[in-house]
């Protein structure tokens, strides 16, 4: 059982080999840039100028574009329909039947779609090219409590097991005559007989697992060694500090901009 829920796409490109913290810093800088630069077009520029080239370097651009498209499209349709048709006041561009479409509404919709694209894109850039466990490993080395790392890594490993458990319970209850199709009330009534076995069954073995990890020195103090070592280079350290300074500059710029 080594399968886990993850967006990670295995690869051996230079981008994949970057230190996880370097990739995390790139993601955070891009996010901050989109938030701070006071223009609706900044998000699009950052997406085309940085996220796309980096995803091509990492060989993950197909997955990235597909995922961004799948997530952003429903948002985009909703935003353009709702904010476009019901904006209310502003410079009228054109009208469809009883609705008028205003210039301000279109600018708002473009800005929102761009921001969503940037948030999704910058996180996908990190998630598609970085194994969650190596990211958590790197964060632990920076001082993140080991308990947090344990929760994240373990959850990612056990989630698929729970999903298949849920499917087993659906099958079992259906074979005992539980009706899971029909009107809303019938389907609603099926909820408790499906959730209860899933939750009770998994809670009962919590204690066993707690004893198992404590017996393996989970709570022992002192330094711990890791099976996986993550390569870091002096150049990447320098690059991270540069990005960090850039982020501070961006925040400073934003404060200065809103003051003047």
Partner 1 sequence: MGFVDSIKKEFSTRTLVLITVAIAINIAVGQLVFTLKLPIYLDSIGTILVGALVGPWAGALTGALGNIIWGYTLNPTYLPFFYVAAVIGAMAGIAAKLGAFDRVSPRWLSALIGGFFFFGLTLFILSITAYSRDGLIPNASDLISQNALVFVVILIIGLAIGYFLLRKAGYAGLAGLITGVVAAIISAPMAAIYFGGVTGAGTDLLVAAFRASGAGILASTLAQGAVSDPFDKMVSFLIVWVIIQSLPARFKAR
Q: Which residues bind partner 1 (CB under 8 A)?
A: 4-7, 71, 73-75, 77-79, 81-83, 85-86, 88, 108-109, 111-113, 115-116, 119-120, 123-124, 127, 132, 147-148, 150-152, 154-156, 158-159, 161-163, 165-166, 170, 180, 184, 187-188, 190-192, 194-196, 198-200, 202-204, 206-207, 209-210, 213-214, 218-219
- Quick one: 162 or 241, whose CB is closer to partner 1? 162
Shortest reach from residue 24's CB to partner 1, in Å: 11
Do residues 25 and 139 touch, judged by C-beta distance below 8 A?
no
- Quick one: 189 or 237, whose CB is closer to partner 1? 189
Question: Distances from the Cα of 172 to the Cαs of 176, 179, 188, 219, in angstroms?
Answer: 6, 12, 18, 39
Shortest reach from residue 95's CB to partner 1, in Å: 15
Shortest reach from residue 98's CB to partner 1, in Å: 11
- Quick one: 48 or 171, whose CB is closer to partner 1? 171
In this structure, the chain runs to a length of 260
The two structure tokens encoding residue 210: 């707690």
Do residues 230 and 12 touch, judged by C-beta distance below 8 A?
no
- Quick one: 57 or 123, whose CB is closer to partner 1? 123
- Quick one: 209 or 237, whose CB is closer to partner 1? 209
Shortest reach from residue 103's CB to partner 1, in Å: 16
Do residues 34 and 154 touch, judged by C-beta distance below 8 A?
no
Shortest reach from residue 78's CB to partner 1, in Å: 4
Closest residue by Cα to residue 34 from 142, 132, 113, 98: 113
Shortest reach from residue 240's CB to partner 1, in Å: 20
| Those residues with Cβ within 8 angstroms of residue 103's Cβ, 6 or more apart along the chain or in another chain | 90, 91, 92, 93
Question: Distances from the Cα of 237 to the Cαs of 20, 160, 212, 232, 246, in angstroms?
Answer: 12, 36, 38, 8, 14
Closest residue by Cα to residue 79 from 51, 110, 48, 100: 110
- Quick one: 200 or 235, whose CB is closer to partner 1? 200
């Amino acid at each position: 059982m080594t399968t886990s829920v993850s967006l990670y796409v295995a690869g051996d490109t230079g981008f994949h080999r970057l230190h996880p913290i370097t990739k995390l810093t790139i993601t955070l800088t891009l996010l901050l840039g989109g938030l701070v630069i006071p223009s609706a077009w900044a998000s699009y520029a950052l997406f085309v100028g940085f996220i796309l080239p980096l995803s091509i370097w990492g060989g993950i651009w197909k997955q990235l574009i597909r995922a961004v498209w799948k997530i952003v499209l429903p948002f985009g349709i909703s935003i353009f329909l709702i904010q476009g048709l019901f904006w209310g006041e502003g410079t009228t561009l054109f009208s469809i039947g009883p609705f008028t479409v205003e210039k301000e509404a279109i600018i708002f919709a473009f800005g929102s779609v761009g921001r969503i694209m940037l948030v999704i894109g910058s996180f996908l850039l990190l998630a598609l090219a970085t194994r969650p466990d190596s990211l958590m490993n790197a964060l632990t080395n920076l001082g993140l409590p080991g308990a947090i790392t344990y929760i994240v890594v373990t959850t990612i490993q056990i989630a698929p097991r729970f999903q298949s458990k849920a499917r087993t319970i659906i099958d079992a209850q259906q074979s005992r005559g539980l009706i899971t199709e029909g009107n809303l009330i019938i389907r609603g009534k099926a909820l408790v007989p499906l959730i209860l076995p899933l939750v009770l069954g998994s809670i009962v073995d919590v204690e066993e697992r707690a004893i198992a990890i404590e017996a393996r020195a989970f709570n022992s103090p002192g330094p711990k060694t890791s099976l996986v070592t993550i390569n870091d280079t002096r150049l990447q350290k320098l690059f991270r500090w540069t990005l960090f300074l850039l982020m501070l500059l961006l925040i400073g710029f934003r404060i200065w901009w809103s003051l003047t």
